[in-house]
Amino acid sequence: MMLSTDKTFPVACSWCLWTLLSLCYGLEFRYHNSAEVEKYLREVTRNYPSFTYRYNIGRSVEGRHLWVLVLGKSPKEHNVGIPEFKYVGNMHGNEVVGRVLLLQLIDYLTKGYHNNPFVTRLLDSTRVHILPSMNPDGFESSSRDCMAGFGRYNSNGVDLNRNFPDIFSGEDEERREFEVLAIMDWMKQERFVLSANLHGGAVVASYPYDNSNRGGELQEGASVSPDNDVFIHLAKTYSYSHTQMHRGNACSDSNFPHGITNGYQWYALPGGMQDYNYVWQQCLEITLELSCCKFPPERELPGFWEANRPALLAYMQQVHLGVKGQVLDADGNPVQNALVEVEGRINLCPFRSGPYGEYYRLLLPGNYTFKVTFPGHEMLIETLTVPYGPENFSALKHNFLLERSVNASTPPTPTKPCSTSGVQPQDSHSAALLATPIITLLPLLLISLLM
Ligand SMILES: *[C@@H]1O[C@H](CO)[C@@H](O)[C@H](O)[C@H]1NC(C)=O
Ligand SMILES: *[C@@H]1O[C@H](CO)[C@@H](O)[C@H](O)[C@H]1NC(C)=O
Ligand SMILES: *[C@@H]1O[C@H](CO)[C@@H](O)[C@H](O)[C@H]1NC(C)=O
Ligand SMILES: [Zn+2]
């Protein structure tokens, strides 16, 4: 009896001490390694079981779990009408500020729920998933300096932000890395509405597209998506809620108007995660570059938290832009896979209703005409006046009620596949197209070493 008590006593005691210290003083500002992150997330779910939940989405090449902490009123499952949000940190293993900030954010949200009105409203209306490190192997092998690339790649030497399927690159048969497959599977499980992906090496909010096939999406050097207005608003929400980012000149020789940039306009990037989120998964994602130095000294971490905290919070609230609801048939049954399109926005992969017939469409305030189509049903066209949802932590709620087609012989609406065909290449660029790989390769290589 005594023996076993003796053995567990130091363990229990150090656990008490850790819990007590973190409850009183908050999470320490330093670089926690993968084992410490795992331990911290376990403590969080032990201390706050009613609104936090921990799960992993897979393993890295070296077998480290990719841990996610989810926070929300109902953390273990999706609820109709509650949007899913995510933050992903440390995709490049040596870009570490985001990883630290996401742990601090977890600390802040857990302490604020039922204490701080903003946090309470946020977590009552949103399910927030946080993956502090997408590339733990890279982190563990990083050198602690500002620019050297050690640790950027995963354990196979692959840049994870070049390894996603890319509609602009055509039929690529690229081998996907474990970490990338984990994200892709995760996005099949949870239908995320809004996301951000945290990097370092600059201070700017970058938004899709990152790539282009030099088609009609190119406008004055930017690769412009149909939801460009929403993306600019999202990026500015972050940069203007951040203490310095909106000035656009945080790092030497940088000049980003408003602290934002179109990804492609900055530098072309094939196989990136933000284009994948948006194009293939209908999740609006932006890329946040949060520090000039990729691996800054620990003493600077509290300053990064103060600069980014309001921006991290304001950005999450934007998940409530636009319209949300269900597509229902004449009997009130949810209709999955209906096309839910907004006039004037031809998305490369159309937005569709999900399980429970749910859809979310992030839009700025204004009037929008929706077109909802599903085989065997009349096409539904409705115009909605959309208010500014974040103010009330809720998008406009609207259900689309489909009617069965009166004409039984009406052929089913063809289901639209994903394609860039709506985006016609400009002029006759066939010669230029051949030359582009060579022209774009050099700057791309140079810049990819920097970011
Ligand atoms: C939207 O429609 C409403 C009602 O038809 C109209 O009063 C309003 O002016 C419109 N708003 C905009 C921005 O077009
Ligand atoms: C927010 O909620 C209040 C009270 O329900 C309502 O009067 C207001 O119109 C709402 N604002 C928006 C932007 O939805
Ligand atoms: C029903 O659909 C068929 C085929 O599209 C068409 O030829 C026919 O005129 C339609 N009938 C009515 C009543 O709309
Ligand atoms: Zn990066």
**Does residue 25 register a pLDDT over 70?**
no
In a domain, residue 64? The reply is: yes
If asked whether residues 348 and 316 sit together in one domain, one would say no
Helix (H) or strand (E) holding 58: strand 52-59
If asked whether residues 240 and 136 sit together in one domain, one would say yes
If asked whether residues 83 and 200 sit together in one domain, one would say yes
User: At a CB cut-off of 8 Å and minimum separation 6, what does 152 contact?
Assistant: 92, 93, 94, 95, 138, 159
Residue 430 CA to residue 68 CA, distance in Å, equals 45
371 Cα to the center of ligand 3, angstroms? 21
Q: Following DSSP, what letter does each residue of 145-163 receive, concatenated?
A: SSS--TTSS-TTS--GGG-
Find the mean pLDDT for residues 242-264: 96
Pocket test for ligand 1, best of 364, 383, 385, 386 (most atoms within 8 A of CB): 385
If asked whether residues 34 and 172 sit together in one domain, one would say yes
Summarised one tens digit per residue, pLDDT across range 339-350 is 999 999 999 999
Question: Going by CA atoms, what residue is nearest to atom 14 of ligand 3?
Answer: 407
If asked whether residues 285 and 328 sit together in one domain, one would say no
Neighbours of ion ligand 4 (CB under 5 A): 92, 95, 199
If asked whether residues 27 and 149 sit together in one domain, one would say yes
Question: By residue range, what is the domain housing residue 261?
Answer: 23-320+441-450
Find the mean pLDDT for residues 68-92: 98
Summarised one tens digit per residue, pLDDT across range 394-404 is 999 999 999 99
Find the mean pLDDT for residues 112-128: 98
Q: What is the pTM of this model?
A: 0.88
Question: Going by CA atoms, what residue is nearest to atom 13 of ligand 3?
Answer: 407
Question: Going by CA atoms, what residue is nearest to atom 4 of ligand 2?
Answer: 392
Local confidence band at 174 (pLDDT 50, 70, 90 cut-offs): confident
If asked whether residues 353 and 265 sit together in one domain, one would say no
Question: Going by CA atoms, what residue is nearest to atom 4 of ligand 3?
Answer: 410
Pocket test for ligand 2, best of 392, 393, 394, 397 (most atoms within 8 A of CB): 392
In a domain, residue 63? The reply is: yes
Catalytic annotation, pick one of 84, 95, 289, 358: 289
Tell me how far CA of residue 131 lies from CA of 32, 186, 307, 398, in angstroms: 14, 11, 21, 31
Summarised one tens digit per residue, pLDDT across range 254-277 is 899 999 999 999 999 999 999 999
Domain at 161, CATH number: 3.40.630.10
* Amino acid in position 213: N
Tell me what pLDDT residue 420 has. 73
411 Cα to the center of ligand 3, angstroms? 9
379 Cα to the center of ligand 3, angstroms? 15
Find the mean pLDDT for residues 213-231: 95
Tell me what pLDDT residue 448 has. 47
User: At a CB cut-off of 8 Å and minimum separation 6, what does 346 contact?
Assistant: 226, 422, 423
If asked whether residues 186 and 59 sit together in one domain, one would say yes
Domain at 333, CATH number: 2.60.40.1120
Find the mean pLDDT for residues 422-450: 42
In a domain, residue 11? The reply is: no
123 Cα to the center of ligand 2, angstroms? 19
> Is 289 noted as a catalytic residue in this protein?
yes
- Report the number of distinct structural domains present in the chain: 2
If asked whether residues 40 and 179 sit together in one domain, one would say yes
Residue 201 CA to residue 376 CA, distance in Å, equals 52
